[in-house]
């Protein structure tokens, strides 16, 4: 017990100095990686993966979605198949409708008070960052990762990566991180290792991050990859049903309540928003993932170009934005709600009260009246 405590205290004491050094590296690397289609360090990654058993940790962002989980599991299944010792760590739990994907039992929620979790990160040979490009997106994992001397590979499709890593695969033109994982597998000569399980995970990643191919999916490359995945015998209809037709009665009632009682409509700004309080969530027995997709519903209203969704958590307000056309919700989120993302899909956070956060959003809309109305359906 004393030995355990000493190790844990030593790890904690080292963090502050290493964290400062890691943040400095972030600042030094920001200028180099702002264009789309960055593939740096792939040869060195291939060489490392060609070695005998490597200890590999795959990390993805807080509130993992279908792309985060699907791409992580696809990579996990592939690397395990070729003989590596892999684990997936996430900052918090993820929706139950994703927990059937092959390899799901190898995903663990990181606990910074558990020595084995800390040691897994600190002793890894390779760490993969999937579906995020800002270290803050992994929350409590941040501190432990900064202490690791592992080779780090980043695979992501969000703009403006802000981390100094050994290998970076960053392409904002990709539909999803799942698509980039497929392209990496092909590039390093492991395409023959893809099987039905891996193809299922990749398809789920691509399908969910494109809203069933309704956005971020205009490139022929996306459909060519999907056509290849179908050849592995995946059941695309079953994947769809298990993800999108797998909600509880309470979730459906929460959606109805949100649309009926918590939606606000701003026709002069071609905007609508939905918000839910903690009391609302308790009333409808809210579970992780129950609000997935709520932000998209207002966009189906004729004339609406900008949709927002605010959900009150215990210590912050989670914010989601969607748009049509060229209204940049990623910039809007970054400027006003501590967030970022894609042109038409982004997220953020507020640490003010729910009422103040909603009022802030309402007061911002007049500033964007021209941009929001300058759009043809």
The DSSP letter of residue 196 is H
Domain count for the chain: 2
137 and 224 both lie in a single domain? yes
Tokens representing 360 are 């802030």
Contacts of 95 (CB under 8 A, 6+ apart): 287, 288, 289, 290, 292
126 and 38 both lie in a single domain? yes
274 and 330 both lie in a single domain? yes
The CATH number of the domain where 87 resides is what? 3.90.1640.10
Domain edge (last residue) among 216, 243, 270? 243
CB atoms within 10 A of CB 197: 18
In this structure, are residues 101 and 201 in contact, taking their beta carbons and an 8 Å threshold? yes
Nearest CA to 78 out of 109, 105, 47, 56 is that of 56
Domain that holds residue 321: 249-373
pLDDT at 214: 87
Q: pLDDT tens-digit profile of 254-301?
A: 999 999 999 999 999 999 999 999 999 999 999 999 999 999 999 999
Domain edge (last residue) among 208, 243, 278? 243
The CATH number of the domain where 253 resides is what? 3.10.310.30
Instruction: State the Cα–Cα distance between residues 184 and 166, nearest whole angstrom.
Output: 15
pLDDT at 377: 63
78 and 124 both lie in a single domain? yes
CA 260 from chain centre, in angstroms, equals: 29
27 and 160 both lie in a single domain? yes
76 and 148 both lie in a single domain? yes
pLDDT at 13: 42
Residue 338 region by backbone torsions, left for phi larger than 0, else alpha for psi between -120 and 50, else beta: left
pLDDT at 22: 45
184 and 296 both lie in a single domain? no
Q: pLDDT tens-digit profile of 85-103?
A: 999 999 999 999 999 999 9
Domain edge (last residue) among 243, 275, 291? 243
Instruction: State the Cα–Cα distance between residues 39 and 42, nearest whole angstrom.
Output: 7
The three-class DSSP label of residue 320 is strand
* Distance, first Cα to last Cα, the chain: 66
Tokens representing 235 are 């059941």
Instruction: State the Cα–Cα distance between residues 358 and 377, nearest whole angstrom.
Output: 27
125 and 261 both lie in a single domain? no
* CA torsion through residues 175, 23, 92, 60, sign: positive
Task: Please write down the long-range contacts of 222-230, taking CB distance under 8 Å and 24 or more positions apart.
Answer: 222/174, 222/175, 222/179, 225/179, 225/182, 225/183, 228/182, 229/182, 229/199, 229/202, 229/203, 230/203
Residue 153 region by backbone torsions, left for phi larger than 0, else alpha for psi between -120 and 50, else beta: beta
59 and 15 both lie in a single domain? yes
Could you read off the pLDDT tens digit of each residue along the chain, which spans 377 residues?
434 343 444 444 444 444 444 443 433 243 333 445 899 999 999 999 999 999 999 999 999 999 999 999 999 999 999 999 999 999 999 999 999 999 999 999 999 999 999 999 999 999 999 999 999 999 999 999 999 999 999 999 999 888 889 999 999 999 999 999 999 999 999 999 999 999 999 999 999 999 999 888 999 999 999 999 999 999 999 999 999 999 999 999 999 999 999 999 999 999 999 999 999 999 999 999 999 999 999 999 999 999 999 999 999 999 999 999 999 999 999 999 999 999 999 999 999 999 999 999 999 999 999 999 987 66
199 and 297 both lie in a single domain? no
Task: Please write down the long-range contacts of 277-280, taking CB distance under 8 Å and 24 or more positions apart.
Answer: 277/312, 277/354, 278/312, 278/313, 278/314, 280/254
């Amino acid at each position: 017990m004393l030995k355990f405590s000493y190790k844990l205290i030593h790890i904690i004491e080292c963090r502050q100095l290493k964290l400062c050094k890691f943040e400095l590296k972030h600042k030094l690397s920001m200028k180099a990686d702002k264009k789309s289609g960055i593939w740096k360090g792939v040869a060195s990654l291939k060489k490392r993966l060609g070695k005998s058993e490597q200890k590999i940790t795959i990390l993805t962002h807080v509130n993992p979605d279908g792309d985060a989980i699907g791409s992580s599991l696809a990579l996990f299944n592939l690397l395990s198949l070729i003989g590596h010792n892999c684990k997936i760590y996430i900052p918090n739990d993820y929706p139950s409708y994703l927990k059937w994907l092959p390899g799901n039992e190898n995903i663990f929620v990181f606990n910074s008070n558990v020595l084995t979790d800390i040691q897994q990160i600190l002793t890894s040979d390779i760490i993969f960052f999937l579906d995020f490009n800002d270290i803050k997106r992994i929350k409590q994992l941040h501190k432990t990762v900064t202490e690791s001397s592992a080779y780090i590979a980043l695979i992501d499709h969000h703009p403006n990566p802000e981390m100094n890593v050994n290998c970076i695969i960053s392409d904002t033109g990709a539909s999803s991180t799942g698509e980039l994982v497929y392209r990496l597998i092909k590039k390093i000569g492991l395409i023959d290792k893809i099987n039905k399980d891996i193809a299922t995970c990749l398809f789920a990643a691509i399908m969910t991050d494109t809203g069933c191919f309704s956005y971020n999916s205009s490139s022929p490359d996306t459909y060519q990859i999907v056509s290849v995945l179908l050849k592995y015998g995946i059941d695309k209809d079953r994947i769809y049903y298990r993800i999108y037709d797998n909600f509880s009665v309470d979730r459906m009632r929460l959606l109805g309540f949100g649309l009926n009682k918590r939606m606000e409509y701003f026709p002069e700004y071609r905007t609508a928003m939905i918000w839910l309080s903690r009391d609302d969530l308790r009333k409808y027995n809210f579970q992780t993932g129950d609000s997935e997709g709520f932000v998209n519903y207002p966009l189906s209203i004729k004339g609406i170009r900008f949709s927002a969704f605010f959900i009150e958590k215990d210590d912050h307000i989670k914010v989601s934005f969607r748009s049509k056309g060229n209204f940049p919700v990623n910039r809007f989120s970054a400027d006003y709600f501590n967030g970022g993302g894609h042109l038409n899909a982004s997220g953020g956070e507020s640490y003010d009260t729910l009422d103040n956060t909603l009022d802030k959003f309402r007061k911002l809309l007049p500033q964007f009246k021209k941009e929001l109305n300058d759009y043809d359906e």
